[in-house]
Structure 1
Amino acid sequence: MTPIEQNLHQLDLLSLIVQQVQPEHYCQIKDWPGQPSVGKHVRHVLDHYQQLQLAADSKQLDYRLRMRDQGAQSDPLKAQHWIERLQSWLHTIQADELDKQLNYQFAEGNTYTSLQRELDFVASHAVHHLALIHAQMEPLGYDWPMEAGVHSSTQEYQQQCAP
């Protein structure tokens, strides 16, 4: 799968979750470190995608400057809106843009990265949060796609090990 396809897939999985979760479960806070909710995880993932989208234009990437859209955290419909906007953006990325150099700011300084490398990061980041969302939604009885929260490399490895 290309980096764009991988990200579209992760956003499809996130969309499926957002579309089926009841609003009261979307905002239900768990008594875990950070007091997460499904909505907080969704918002956090979307924040990273939004920041990367901005960087694709500005060539300046700093994930610490995320928007932290509280609407997407509390309202599944607003989150769905952002998912659709991000999917549209991903569809516009051309292959020759993937090597675009970005100036990457982080707490310890700055360096350079590429759009392709950061697409790989946000896809892996989404997988991680989908696994955390699964841990919150499974006890509530929601249907869960088998591949949600499992990295593509793990899926490939499991296929190699299957009888």
Structure 2
Amino acid sequence: MQKVINASIEILDQISNFIMELDDASYTKVSKPLFDSSIGQHLRHILDIFQALMTSENGDLIDYDLRRRGIPLETDRMAGLQEIDQVREWLLSLEPEQLDNDVVISTEVALVTQQTAEFRTTFGRELCFASSHLTHHLALMVVHAKLLGLEVDSQLGVAPATATYIREQEETSCAH
């Protein structure tokens, strides 16, 4: 399970580097009509998922619906980077065995009315989800940054399986 922790740190480092390269205006800009959220708001959403895990690592219920909208990290890039560092430190403190712990998640499942469902899972599976969710939102943030005219590393926001495919394609083309 150490590989799940390491992979989570790797993607967290990617988003940290991405945020560090932004200026404050780009971090808070909402590119209407294509986006209704800023890069900072996407970051807050990502970190809410990790916060849900961090507050329940002892086997309690993981509640993905606890959101912290309107907090400083949505508009303050340095606050966002500080929280990324806190999540990174938490990840480094995890023992691989913790990922085998059984947990229950709670999440809303409907749009028209408030309906919540609970599912049994493992802490490791949920950490894997959080990292995948981060990658998905990082891909959106990359598009947002490109719309702002920023240069962005082409490796950002790429899913692990896609990265493997790209490497295989590069190896195949080099062999020919």
Q: Same fold (TM over 0.5)?
A: yes
Corresponding letter in the other structure for 1:67: R
More helix by share: 1
Q: Please state whether the residue corresponding to 1:65 is helix, strand or coil.
A: coil
Corresponding letter in the other structure for 2:132: S
The alignment's C-alpha RMSD in Å is 1.8
Matches within 5 A, 1:116-127: 116-127=124-135
Matches of 2:144 and 2:61 in 1, distance apart?
Answer: 34
Matches within 5 A, 1:4-43: 4-32=5-33, 35-43=36-44
> Which residue in 2 is equivalent to 1:53?
54
In 1, are the aligned partners of 2:107 and 2:118 still within 8 Å (CA)? yes
Deviates more, 1:100-109 or 1:42-51: 100-109
In 1, are the aligned partners of 2:59 and 2:101 still within 8 Å (CA)? no
> Which residue in 2 is equivalent to 1:84?
85
- Structure 2: give runs of 5+ residues left out of the alignment: 109-115
In 1, are the aligned partners of 2:104 and 2:121 still within 8 Å (CA)? yes
Matches of 2:55 and 2:70 in 1, distance apart?
Answer: 15
TM-score after normalising by structure 2: 0.85
> Which residue in 1 is equivalent to 2:167?
159
- Structure 1: give runs of 5+ residues left out of the alignment: none
Deviates more, 1:15-24 or 1:50-59: 50-59
In 2, are the aligned partners of 1:47 and 1:69 still within 8 Å (CA)? no
In 1, are the aligned partners of 2:44 and 2:68 still within 8 Å (CA)? no
In 1, are the aligned partners of 2:8 and 2:131 still within 8 Å (CA)? yes
Aligned residues: 163
Corresponding letter in the other structure for 2:95: Q
Matches of 1:27 and 1:63 in 2, distance apart?
Answer: 24
Corresponding letter in the other structure for 1:65: L
In 2, are the aligned partners of 1:47 and 1:68 still within 8 Å (CA)? no
Which structure would you say has the larger Rg? Answer: 2
Corresponding letter in the other structure for 1:2: K
Q: Please state whether the residue corresponding to 1:98 is helix, strand or coil.
A: helix
Corresponding letter in the other structure for 1:119: L
Matches of 2:105 and 2:37 in 1, distance apart?
Answer: 28
TM-score after normalising by structure 1: 0.91
Matches of 1:26 and 1:3 in 2, distance apart?
Answer: 28
In 2, are the aligned partners of 1:103 and 1:112 still within 8 Å (CA)? yes
In the TM superposition, residue 57 of structure 1 has moved relative to its aligned partner by: 3.0
Q: Please state whether the residue corresponding to 1:109 is helix, strand or coil.
A: strand
Q: Please state whether the residue corresponding to 1:88 is helix, strand or coil.
A: helix
Deviates more, 1:7-16 or 1:83-92: 7-16
Between the aligned residues of both structures, percent identity stands at 26
Corresponding letter in the other structure for 1:112: R
Q: Please state whether the residue corresponding to 2:119 is helix, strand or coil.
A: strand
